[in-house]
Amino acid sequence: MPKKAQSPKKCRRAPWDEYFMMIAVQAATRSTCDRKHVGAVIVRDKTILSTGYNGSVRGMPHCDDVGHIMENDHCVATVHAEANAIIQAAKNGVAINGADIYVTASPCWNCFKLIANSGIKRIFYGEFYRDKRIKDVAKTAKIELKRVKLPDVKYPDVLCDK
């Protein structure tokens, strides 16, 4: 009878929330606004439906290259990650009603409204960013807000014993 091979490292599988949040972190690496790199992943039934990151309007120069358009201490040249993920789903004919969204930073007020009206039921975020209104409105709208904390180390090393 053949012997079972032993792996050299003891590894764990990432929990689903951590897995999808790390994909959002990876999406954020495509961001073209160096003021804040944000990524988003829309998921239903443990299946990725769409991703997005904050970046310039399609066909326009990136603010990383030509500078920022600032209003009230915000760069308004970019489309936010959450909006881009919703837009990508719509553009590709993907229904997101009842889905979850994983975002590296909690949504701004405008993105929260888009998320709510798109039918997304749960928002998982990595860091809370600026707008406290979303907490009260989320309760009223029956949208769950949940923080997902990630380790401060690079994947996949965090998953394995050294």
Catalytic residues: 82
- Number of Cβ within 10 Å of residue 24's Cβ equals 29
Query: Which residue matches tokens 């590296």?
Result: 104
Q: Is the CB of residue 120 less than 8 Å from the CB of residue 42?
A: yes
In this structure, the chain runs to a length of: 162
Q: Is 134 exposed, middle or buried (0-12, 13-18, 19+ CB in 10 A)?
A: buried
